A and B are shown apart, each in its own frame.
Chain A
Amino acid sequence: MRSLWTRHAPHIDTVVRRLVGPDHDVAQDVAQEVWIQIFRALPTYRGDSKFATWAHRIAVNRTLNALRRIRRLSKIEVDMEDDTVAVTPDTDRSFVMASIEEAAARLSPGARTVFLLHDVEGFTHEEIAAELGITAGGSKSQLFKARARLRKFLAHLVDVPEHMDVENVAPVS
């Protein structure tokens, strides 16, 4: 079990942290709950998909359940905790990740969850609808609103430089 945890914890914990948001203590609790559920369900793993994929599904499902249970979807706090050290990112990678997480935290809980599930975790609208108890159309609507807001929050990452020829950057077929 420790081997499985060692290998997959970086990804599983990241998924949990993204979905829970900036509340580190809640994320820690949920991550532990997720891992217990993964190991509890281990005997049912048949190997018909990659373990990482199987565990990823459990992580997402369990995290959403936990968020619903503790009613955090409607009141996730945005502010970082006072005792958290904000360290300057050393790499572009961590900077991009931090930027997306901070921007996503400014969305409404529903839009944030749909955006993370669709654009980051790779779920389809049908899968999101099943997970969240909404329609696929509702999922799309939330996603497009979320993207439109994130476009403003992440302008420093996605804006096309002014000197570029936008006609060539965005060819319309």
Chain B
Amino acid sequence: MSHLSPERLAALADEQPTAAELAHLNVCSACASERAVADALVSLASEERASIGLPLTRWESLSSALQSEGLISRTAPRISVARRHGSGRMWLQAAAALLFVAGGTVLGRYTAGAAPVPGFSSSVATRTVQPSDSQHTVFTSVDDARAARSKAQLVYQNAAAFLAQHDSGSGGGESPSTMRTRLAALDRVSHAMREALNDAPYDPVINDYYLTTLGQREATLRQLNTALPAGMRVSSF
């Protein structure tokens, strides 16, 4: 039997060889090797299914288009849609945990004598954060606690949305090379988080890390595109 054609070898990644083909593969190292390569190619391609590339869309332009379509209004609370479609609970948990982490960080820095937020003076932060108030909050019922949590979640989401749109200066001192390194590291983190979410898809803590990583990735990409010369953009990093 002559050698198997490249197309037939490629097909053997999905199909079983005939008896004649099998007999040939057992004695022909070249075809056997090519069959292994075909299998490797298919594995490589399927592994790419979970990969993440650079984003193509930005919420700012997308939201404008959605407003034009009448799908969202300028005053519509963002949280309502997610809640209506069943995935809101997880997002609320994620937002609450993020708020908790952020609050803990601020409180920790405050009690350690540092500015609650890097770059802010203590006097400003003391006026706006008031950690002692939240530290001594006492809830009298589950409903009270839930209401406070919902309010805090909305405040957090609004703050996060505002920062994502306006806070482009936090990484202003970083070079494009540093930002690309950071992007690669964030990709590795998000990959690890996705693996973890396969095992525990509803774990709020892991979801928090994952969402935070994606948010940081988006912010870094925005900063990187800002840092590059006009007319240039990143296609890979």
Mostly, the B contact residues are helix
Closest to A171 in B: B32
Q: Which B residues are closer than 8 A to A by beta carbons? A: 5-11, 13, 17, 22, 25-26, 29, 32-42, 44-49, 51-57, 59, 61-63, 65-66, 69, 71-72, 78-79, 81-82, 85-87, 91, 161, 180-181, 183-184, 187-188, 190-191, 211, 214-215, 217-218, 228, 231-237
Q: Would A4 and B87 count as touching, CB distance under 8 A?
A: yes
* Contact residues in B for A32 (Cβ distance below 8 Å): 56-57, 61-62, 65
* Contact residues in A for B81 (Cβ distance below 8 Å): 1, 4, 42
As a 0/1 sequence over residues 151 to 173 of chain A, the CB contacts with chain B under 8 angstroms (1 = contact) are 10010011110000011011010
Given contacts A85-B234, A151-B6, A160-B33, contact A119 B57 (CB under 8 A): no
Number of interface residues of A (CB under 8 A): 66
* Contact residues in B for A91 (Cβ distance below 8 Å): 184, 187-188
Q: Would B48 and A100 count as touching, CB distance under 8 A?
A: yes
Stretch at the interface among A13-21, A66-74, A127-135: A13-21
Q: Which A residues are closer than 8 A to B by beta carbons? A: 1-7, 9-11, 13-14, 16-18, 24, 27-28, 31-32, 35-36, 39-40, 42, 45, 47, 51, 80, 83-87, 89-91, 93-94, 96-98, 100, 115, 119-122, 140, 143-145, 147-148, 150-151, 154, 157-160, 166-167, 169-170, 172
* Contact residues in B for A87 (Cβ distance below 8 Å): 180, 234-237
Q: Would B237 and A158 count as touching, CB distance under 8 A?
A: no
Given contacts A147-B38, A151-B10, A160-B33, contact A35 B45 (CB under 8 A): no
